[in-house]
Amino acid sequence: MKKNLVLLFMVSVSMVCVSQSGNTITTNGGVPVGDNQNSKTVGEYGPVLLEDILLIEKLAAFDRERIPERVVHPRGAGASGYFEASKDMSEYTKAVIFSTAGKRTDVAARFSTVIHGKGSPETARDPRGFAVKFYSTEGNYDIVGNNLPIFFIRDAIKFPDMVHSLKPSPETNKQDPNRFFDFFSHVPEATHMLTRLYTDLGIPKGYQYMNGSSVHGYKWINKEGKVTYIKYSWVSKQGEKNLTVEEASKQQGLDWQHATVSLRKDIAEKKYPQWDLYVQMIKPEDLHSFDFWPLDATKDWPADTIEKIKIGTMTLNQNPINYFEQVESLAFSPGSLIPGIEPSEDKLLQGRLFSYFDTQRHRLGPNFQQLKINQPLETPKNYNSDSWSSYGNKKFENPDVNYQPSSKASLAEDKQYKQSETTLTNVTIVQKKITKTNDFAQAGDFYRTLTTQEQDNLIKNLRGDLSQVADKNIQKTMITYFYKADSNFGMRIAQALGYSQKDFMK
């Protein structure tokens, strides 16, 4: 009898092992599941029991499937690939990804709309995010920008208010031109961005058909410690293609996820999209030689005066297999910098250095960099400890020491990676607007580069939203801004809204 029981036990174990090696469903703890269709109840028709561990685990996991949505850039698509440097830029930066012509660096990219929610249509007028993570041998480096080379504001202190004005009303839950034009009528530096956004550039045909920009200037540092201010531009090798309002309306009726679908389809068909990366450079002593402040995010760096130099090409050749793990959990920050690249004094950038890391810790937890998609090539070595999802804390030579400096510590600094020094003289701590605002000139310059058809579309698109603004004073203020950019521009919008010259003489 005893022998039979032992034999029966061995057969049972064998059966479990066989099923385990196949496709048997398990709990998160790896325990095989015998019934994944029916809850445990008191009798056939009785109430469900709290002791049903599988049921509780499934419901708890389901309840937590959604992490907090990004406040901005929630709707996006992503892909992976590589960047290949085409020029040795070691004269200007010690950043390893730009140090040798032909050097390849793996990348992950995410493209997104800015204001609208995660389930919103990709046919909406909106700036597009353009973010690239470089997995370098000296850490992860992020270029986090947009498809347009500028932004609405120059100071991060205005960012929450700007986003609030563009988001749905807290009263009506409707996005309302009355709200955002009320805000922009008090922000003249937004004129340039609004002029670009309301052209067809505001609705890209697909993510692979848009250019990108770092928006901000950064500092490149070479091995001698010399500083050069730089700005990045991505140029699509597929060409820049956009939708008119009429085309976008038709596309929305067919498939409002067109940008995500188009990018994924091209990669699946091995029509790998590519972008050339260009850099513009300014010597520190030349920063004040322009009629605008180069570290003002509302200003473009004109290519006719500041040369664009091609330094490499990005190729995206891998679609995500799991969207949540490879795109939704992909975390960027302009503060993810590597040796040879440092932030500039750009006011908007300075705020983003804090905000982006902070929002990732809110969305993904304090250890978001331990998620696979965000991990650097080399295992991080530091004494940061614990908190949620902390599975990356390392065992060092002395597991009792999780601090530094220490006579027992196994980690130490390497002086060659110290940040560069900036000399400041006659410094006064202030809270004031910059002197070189020049809010309208570049908007006018851009308007005059547009074709007649593009100008017509711009006027039509602006009229579409401005006509919904009930406050005539806000309309007049916006018209005045566009008139200051270019008189023809302003007059055409005024006429489109039914104003005459007399209305501005009262």
Structure confidence by residue, pLDDT tens digits, 78-131: 999 999 999 999 999 999 999 999 999 999 999 999 999 999 999 999 999 999
The residue with greater pLDDT, 435 or 452, is 452
**Is 323 labelled as part of a ligand binding site?**
no
Q: Which helix (H) or strand (E) holds 2?
A: helix 2-21
- Please state which CATH number belongs to domain 76-152+201-374: 2.40.180.10
Q: Tell me how far the alpha carbon of residue 445 is from its chain's centroid.
A: 27
211 and 273 Cβ atoms separated by less than 8 Å: no
500 and 203 Cβ atoms separated by less than 8 Å: no
Structure confidence by residue, pLDDT tens digits, 455-497: 999 999 999 999 999 999 999 999 999 999 999 999 999 999 9
pLDDT value for 395: 59
What percentage of the chain carries pLDDT values higher than 90?
A: 69
The CATH H-level (homologous superfamily) assignment of domain 441-504 is Catalase, four-helical domain (1.20.1370.20)
Q: What are 389's two structure tokens?
A: 């999802």
The residue with greater pLDDT, 326 or 56, is 326
Please give the average per-residue pLDDT across 16-30, as a whole number.
64
| Residue 506 confidence class, pLDDT cut points 50, 70, 90 | low
Lowest-confidence range among 340-354, 371-385, 412-426?
A: 412-426
pLDDT value for 21: 47
Counting DSSP H helices and E strands in the chain, the numbers are 13, 10
d(CA 506, CA 484): 18
**Closest CA relative to residue 478, chosen from 452, 451, 504, 450:** 504
What percentage of the chain carries pLDDT values higher than 70?
A: 94
Catalytic residue numbers?
73, 146
Which residue in this structure is represented by tokens 């910059």?
434
pLDDT value for 242: 98
pTM: 0.89
Extents of the domains making up the chain: 76-152+201-374, 441-504
- Same topology, domains 76-152+201-374 and 441-504? Answer is no
pLDDT value for 505: 74
d(CA 317, CA 271): 8
Please give the average per-residue pLDDT across 167-171, as a whole number.
94
- Maximum alpha-carbon separation in the chain: 109
Residues 6+ apart with CB under 8 A from 419: 342
Q: What angle in degrees, to the nearest 10, is found between the helix axes of 159-166 and 177-184?
A: 150
SS (H, E, C) 292-343: CCCCCCCCCCCCCCCCCEEEEEEEEEECCCCHHHHHHCCCCCCCCCCCCEEE
d(CA 231, CA 279): 6
